[in-house]
Chain A
Amino acid sequence: MPLAAYLLVSLVLFVLGGLGLMIRRNPLVLLMCVELMWNGANLAFVALGRGLEAMSAHVFAFVVITVAAAEVAIGLAILVLVFRGKARQDVDEVNLLGERG
């Protein structure tokens, strides 16, 4: 299979994740969308690493996996804390950083 096919799949994954982030309101789904975007990016790294024989791309892929793991840990912790205070699972109501009123 040509490199372009891998990159196309990776692009589809990334755009799906981004659209999900913009459209969905459930924070858990949002977190999964972020994962989708990570995966899209990671697929592009690995495909390009293989296609261009670039070792550094593989290293980046491992870094991304590590960072994504850390992000999920922190993100889930934040979500748990937010759900303790709020009954509804809607990110639109979590706007503590916005101005009042």
Chain B
Amino acid sequence: MVSSSYLPGILLWPLAGAVVTALGRHRFSQRSLAAIGSGTVGLAFLHGVAAWLQLRSLDPGQVLVFPLWRWAAGGELAVTLGLWGDPLALWWALIVTGVGFLIHLYSAGYMAGDPSFGRYYAQLNYFVFAMSLLVLSDGLVGLILGWGNVGLASYLLIGFWHRRDAARRAATKAFLITQAGEVAMLLGLFWAAAAFGELHYPALFARLEGVPQGTLTAISLLLLVGAVAKSAQLPLHTWLPDAMQGPTPVSALIHAATMVTAGVFLVCRMWPLFSASGVALQVVAWVGGLTALFGAVVAGAQWDIKRVLAYSTMSQVGYMLLGAGVGAFAASAFHFFTHAFFKALLFLAAGVVIHRLDGEQDLRRMGGLRRSMPFTFASFLVGLGALAGLPPLAGFFSKDEILAATRQAGEPLLWALGVAAAALTAYYSFRLLALAFLGPEGPAVQATSSRRAGGEGPWTMLLPVGLLLVGAVAAGWLAIPGVTAVPAQVLEGTFRGQAFHPEGDSLTLTASLLAALVGMGVALARFRPSRPVPQVGPPGLAEAGFELDRLFRHLTVEPGLALARVVAWVDRRGVDGLVNGLAWLTGQAGERVRRLHRGQVRRSVVTLLGGAALLLVGSLWLLSSF
């Protein structure tokens, strides 16, 4: 363990940026706010790179640490906070700050002219700080602190346009669901504290031996509930599509590239616990596999361009959990890496489209954008190709590694799920491409084409898209089967030979490639340029997300409202009734007494003398009775 002064920089720069932009949001110009907001995240990224280089210069197996302070101590348990820079943490931190920087830059163009520009940057910086805290902390307590702060940042940013009713509802929904998961996580944390007596990662992992299998599984599953809620996995995913109410760069940063992968990070971080349980790892794999398929099916039926991408995110995070669930943690982290590039690319490019169409998000009203937006078209082509898993783009290699690991881990059923999801992924990817970019120009495109003044957007928007484009093409080359294996090598310091590294698998390669081509072919044939324009109709089962929202409504929201109504009635009639009744009695009594006080002297005298006479008679009667 080597102390590193670069680690706190990754956290502190975004935090400083958040404070400065929040306090100066009315004083600074939008230009300087954007510069401060983006610059601090850029500095955080540079600190991450420096920490990474420092880690590489050490012996393998060494980690960077930065102790902070002792937070609480009680009984046998002492909670100390600190930063922990092992390969996995830095891997995540680099992507969070790197992709985060590009999205901050992009936001300067996308949010230009918004009256709450400073608030936006403060919240975005705060998010980067919270996420860095989550990944860099050296124990479960720090992780949960980061986890909660990330949830708050997400809530603020989804509800950024808080005058929109839908945005407020979506923010509340996302917060409530992820908080419900957090409660389970907290229970897991308490149980872990009781079972292990340690919450600091290495100390906790050293005590896994000798703890009953059932306890390990229970703790893992409680942590998994939190991960499922945060990563929008079945069945707690319903907040993610609604979260697209936030500004598009927020969707890109939080709900595609970074925050939703926190669950994957948690499983990878706690891998010794999950591996020791075994059963928990199986559950992870099944949750991931089913979500991958479910998300892909629902994504293929959505008409809102951002909802397609949201369900696609859910499906891709499912792949990551599938990989982690079969023990291929490095493959999972690698898919997170490539996914961050191509999904951020897709969201930012979708933002360019939405920006160009004055906020139109319905695919049925788009079409023919290929001619007027060639650069965005190329971005989508690459991003969707990478998503669909076409070689040599990024998604191909990482998804293939996960599928190969699933097959070689002896899970043919999960493997089949994964391949089916791959086919559907290609289908919805190219469906989106065909609907938005091919064919004749749609009504929304025609309506806005006259006002378009050269270019597809400001440079601050196009530069990040271009950089992510390069990443989406090249990120996968880090792990070409049989040629390179960079993620497996660099993450060795965390997984210590325990992660499952699949061999090159020609069957999986062929199957997933075939699946992708079939999905693509079907999509392009169904949505060919001469197709009839799809009409707006009642949503089908898949478009409505299999009505899970309604199920949750009946299971949780309606009983909650009914209970609230009962409580409200008891409050109004019972509690308020008692208080109001007392007040009424006092009022009536006062009304009677009031008649004695008219302020007339002679009346007062009558009362006075009458009272004195009564007292006299009373005291005489008392005296005589003794």
Contact = CB atoms under 8 A, between A and B. Distances in A.
> Does A associate with B in a complex?
yes
Contacts of B598: 95, 98-99
B597 interface: yes
B602 A98 contact: no
A21 B597 contact: no
A91 B599 contact: no
A25 interface: yes
Nearest to A34: B605
Nearest to B612: A18
A94 interface: yes
B600 interface: yes
B609 A98 contact: no
A27 to B, nearest CB: 8
Contacts, number: 34
B164 interface: no
Contacts of B602: 21-23, 25, 91-92
Contact of A98 (B600, B605, B606): B600
Contact of A22 (B594, B597, B599, B606): B606
Contacts of B609: 18, 21-22
A97 interface: yes
Given A18-B609, A21-B609, A22-B606, A91 B601 contact: yes
Contacts of B605: 18, 21-22
Nearest to A37: B609
A89 B111 CA distance: 82
A57 interface: no
A80 interface: no
B343 to A, nearest CB: 75
A45 B190 CA distance: 84
A30 interface: yes
Nearest to B599: A98
A52 interface: no
B314 to A, nearest CB: 71
A40 B487 CA distance: 114
Contacts of A92: 600-602
A98 B601 CA distance: 10
Interface in B442-456: none
Contacts of B599: 95-99
A94 B602 CA distance: 10
Using C-beta atoms within 8 Å of the partner chain, give the interface range for chain A: 10 to 19
A84 B506 CA distance: 117
A98 B309 CA distance: 76
A94 B594 contact: no
Interface in B145-161: none
A91 B597 contact: no
A96 B600 CA distance: 9
A94 B598 CA distance: 10
A22 B599 CA distance: 14
Nearest to B609: A18
Contacts of A27: 601
Interface string B602-621: 10011001000000000000
A99 B591 CA distance: 12
B600 A95 contact: yes
B372 to A, nearest CB: 78
Interface in A77-94: 91-92, 94
Contacts of A97: 597, 599
Contacts of A25: 602
Contacts of B597: 97-99
Nearest to A18: B609
A46 B109 CA distance: 104
Contacts of A94: 601
A3 B423 CA distance: 124
A18 B598 CA distance: 20
Contacts of A91: 600-602
Contact of B601 (A18, A23, A30): A30
A19 to B, nearest CB: 9
B172 to A, nearest CB: 51
A25 to B, nearest CB: 7
Nearest to A91: B601
A98 B599 CA distance: 4
Contacts of A23: 602
Interface in A19-68: 21-23, 25, 27, 30
A30 B602 CA distance: 9
Nearest to A100: B599
Nearest to A27: B601
A35 to B, nearest CB: 14
Contacts of B600: 91-92, 95, 98
B616 to A, nearest CB: 12
A40 to B, nearest CB: 13
B594 A99 contact: yes
B593 to A, nearest CB: 12
B590 to A, nearest CB: 11
Interface in B208-253: none
A23 B602 CA distance: 8
A25 B594 CA distance: 23
Contacts of B594: 99
A29 B235 CA distance: 93
Interface in B191-218: none
A22 B609 CA distance: 9
A21 B15 CA distance: 83
A71 to B, nearest CB: 15
B601 to A, nearest CB: 4
A18 B600 CA distance: 16
Contacts of B606: 22
Interface in B274-300: none
Nearest to A21: B605
19 contacts: A21-B602, A21-B605, A22-B609, A23-B602, A27-B601, A30-B601, A91-B600, A92-B600, A92-B601, A92-B602, A94-B601, A95-B598, A95-B599, A95-B600, A98-B597, A98-B598, A98-B600, A99-B594, A99-B598
Closest 5 CB pairs of A and B: A98-B599, A95-B599, A97-B599, A98-B598, A91-B601
Given A18-B609, A27-B601, A96-B599, 11 more contacts: A21-B602, A21-B609, A22-B602, A25-B602, A91-B600, A92-B601, A95-B598, A98-B597, A99-B594, A99-B597, A99-B598
